[in-house]
Amino acid sequence: MIHVRFGLQTLAAVCAAGVCVAGWQRTGPPAVQPPSPTPTRLWQVAEPARGGPAIDDGAAYFLTARHEVLSVERNTGNVRWRRKTYESGELLSGAAVLIGGPNLVVGDYNLLAFDRDTGSLLWRFIPAEGFAPGIYLGAIAGGAAMAGSASGHVYAVDTAHGALRWATSIAQDGRTTVYAPAAHGSVVAAAYTVFSAPPRGGLALLDASSGRLLWKRAFPLPDDGLLSSNWAGGPVFLGDVVVVSSGDGNIRGFDLETGDIRWTIPRLEGQLLFPIAADHDFRALTVDGDLLISSSSTGVVVAYDAATREERWRYVGTGLGSAAFRISAENGRVYVPFLNGLLVSLDSASGHERWRLGTFASAFLWPPAPGGDRLFVTGGGDGLVAVEDPR
């Protein structure tokens, strides 16, 4: 039962293992683009990685496919320490490492924390009710790690001691998975999918200090009742709305106060690299300044004006296939992993491609960690790589 609920995360793991073939039949000739430069690699730790890295002033941290956590020197890539997560097996587990004060919080199947300097195991959290919080580790807020679960729960776990602060059940039907929550000020947003036939999704907002459910809203149903409306990207916060995508390709902004839908960005039309099923678009979301940026399973990346929702630019990559399931943006740069294993950097003002990194075998499926003029990238094939990221 658990493997079914992993859904798109399972597909990401399969792709990381080199099994996924990205891209479908294209509907027309690809757009002509100039050759992209490749950023210079500074060092590499050749350990098959899972999930994005975390960095601090002196080190980079990442999970391996062998259920280990590695800490490496940020300047050289030399391994500082290596620790097991006490999970095993080939089934997909979590893929997140987050900085929580002096601790490194790790999401595998369960949640763990290690001392960032020594690698000492500080705590391991296994919920008394529910399961698999590590798979859906999402954010740290107010000294607590926020995680969803395939049991329909949201958990807040103290990052210093591993004690449960609160647990809130979003649903008790045995069919609901709550994905990685996002935090903003005093609230936590968590999107979910109910694995019915067809799957349905929605969004919940909780009080960050108590876990009290403030509101819960289901996504509007498609006109065709046979189509899915599962969760498919986000949540991200944008002013006084929280934004999330559904599998039918729509992006919606929910009012933080009331939970009402304030606006909708409809599914993509126009120039697309290849068709997809009407309810199978995954539109990962990120925010950079006054832009809401979305990727797509169609291989397209679009930036919208945050105030008007008008399209600012559209990037149509060639030879890349579908975008992966998370993107990021920072300081005028957008980072988009694709399911063919390549990482692409775009200029957030114009959408122009800055560079692309990797090959199919690299399996760069997660957003990188920017650090000044360096970028730390993890892949299921190439491991952890530090590259120059010129201004």
**What is the DSSP secondary-structure string of 178-235?**
E---EEETTEEEEEEEE-SSS-EEEEEEEETTT--EEEEEEPPPPSSTTS-B-B-S--
β-bridge partners, 96? 107
Distances (CA, A) of 121 to 47, 158, 161, 219: 21, 15, 11, 40
| CA–CA distances in Å: residue 57 to residues 60, 99, 148, 372 | 9, 11, 29, 11
301 pairs with which residues across the strands?
A: 315
pLDDT tens sequence for the chain (391 residues): 333 333 334 343 333 333 333 333 333 333 435 557 889 999 999 999 999 999 999 999 999 989 999 999 999 999 999 999 988 776 657 889 999 999 999 999 999 999 999 999 999 999 999 999 999 999 999 999 999 999 999 999 999 999 999 999 999 999 999 999 999 999 999 999 999 999 999 999 999 999 999 999 999 998 888 889 999 999 999 999 999 999 999 999 999 999 999 999 999 987 777 778 888 999 999 999 999 999 999 999 999 999 999 999 999 988 899 999 999 999 899 999 999 999 999 999 999 999 999 999 999 999 999 988 899 999 999 999 999 987 7
pLDDT at 390: 79
pLDDT at 373: 86
Write down the pLDDT at residue 1: 33
Number of residues written out for the chain: 391
Query: What SS3 class is residue 141?
Result: strand
Q: Name the residue type at position 270.
A: G
16: left (phi > 0), else alpha (psi -120 to 50), else beta? alpha
Distance CA(104)–CA(100), nearest Å, equals: 6
Confidence (pLDDT) at 179: 97
What per-residue confidence (pLDDT) applies to 9? 41
Backbone φ and ψ for 362, nearest 5 degrees, come out as -65, -40
How many angstroms separate the CA atoms of 127 and 141, rounded?
19
Report the pLDDT value the prediction gives residue 102, as an integer from 0 to 100: 94
Instruction: Write down the residue that tokens 């509907």 correspond to.
Output: 27
Instruction: Say if CB 204 and CB 213 are below 8 A apart.
Output: yes
pLDDT at 37: 85
DSSP 311: E
Task: Give residue 90's pLDDT.
Answer: 67
Half-sphere exposure of 250 (CA within 13 A, CB side): 19
pLDDT of residue 228: 93
Q: How far is CA 304 from CA 56, 108, 265, 283, 295, in A?
A: 31, 34, 9, 13, 11
Contact predicate 275/268, CB 8 Å: no
Give, for 159, the enclosing helix (H) or strand (E).
none
φ/ψ (deg, to 5) at 110: -105, -175
Give the residue among 364, 380, 344, 340 at the shortest CA–CA distance from 24. Answer: 340
> Which pair of tokens denotes residue 232?
């498919």
